[in-house]
Amino acid sequence: MDPCAAHTDAGHKSLPVLARNATYDREENTMTFNRSIKIAPSILSADFANFGAEIQAIEAQGADWVHIDVMDGHFVPNLTFGPPAVKAFRPHVKTVMDVHLMISPVDAYIDAYADAGADILTAHIEAGPHTHRTLQAIRGAGMKAGVALNPGTPAHAVEHLLDLTDLICVMTVNPGFGGQKFIDMTDKIRTLRAMIGDREVHIEIDGGVDTTTAPLVAAAGADVLVAGSAVFRGGSVDMPSVYGDNIKAIRAAAQG
């Protein structure tokens, strides 16, 4: 079963089917994708005064998911969106609302983000000692569960969580701000893809994704690319075709 297909457990809502069709070559340690890479623009790079129109524009121009970075000023040195803001975004998101929590603690806020309409909720393994419980709670609240790793955290830190997660988010910048320089995590991505094996788990890359870095992470095994400035640069709700051109360019680069 795909990680973003509907859970059959009671209490789980139905989400869009996002099948991962890929072939992993263990000897070469490479991943060959048989479908389009998913592009998840981060609205942290959008026009803050016009979020609704920006979300509608990127979706109309080919975004697969909408990525929302939640920061608390404690776990990371910045403040962004709380549950009320995410709830306000929900009517505008027609694809998948991918909410990335860069907060600590996490568990106390899971139900609030579920009520706000998150489809996928990702927590950092560094945010607390009970990630196993956190992922169970996220799924129990009807969302897909993701776990994120900072650049300094090794892949094997999440090995015991693979049966509880639908997505692993690999940070390729130190979290807290958009527009940072890409940190090469391709070895970590390859290790994760080998660990995942036949499990239906997405590998998402967050940080410094553009037409130069997209092919590197895709070849290593990533299948969801979060891009902020690389999508929004040069465009606006009045010139949305620029967003479309940027999304197409990143996707084409990733797919080779």
Q: Which residues are annotated as a binding site for a divalent metal cation?
A: 67, 69, 100, 206
Output the six-digit token pair for 191.
């290790």
Contact in structure between 48 and 59 (CB atoms under 8 Å): no
**Which entry of 69, 72, 119, 223 is annotated as an active-site residue?**
69
Residue 58, Cβ neighbours under 10 Å: how many?
30
**What is the rounded distance in angstroms from the CA atom of residue 3 to the CA atom of residue 144?**
7
Out of 98, 166, 206, 223, which one is annotated catalytic? Answer: 206
**Alpha carbon distances (Å) from 184 to 34, 110, 222, 236:** 24, 31, 13, 30
Residues in the chain: 256
Helix (H, G, I), strand (E, B) or coil at 91: helix
Known catalytic residue: 206?
yes
Rounded Cα distance, 204 and 124, in Å: 13
Q: Where are the alpha helices (DSSP H) in the chain?
A: 51-60, 83-89, 110-116, 131-140, 186-196, 214-220, 229-232, 241-255
Residue list for the binding site for substrate: 42, 100, 176-179, 206-208, 228-229
Q: How many CB atoms lie within 10 A of CB 174?
A: 14
Whether residue 119 lies in the annotated active site? no
d(CA 30, CA 60): 32
- Binding residue numbers: 42, 67, 69, 100, 176-179, 206-208, 228-229
Phi, psi at 14, each rounded to 5°: -85, 130
Tokens of 81: 């969106």
Q: Which residues are catalytic?
A: 69, 206
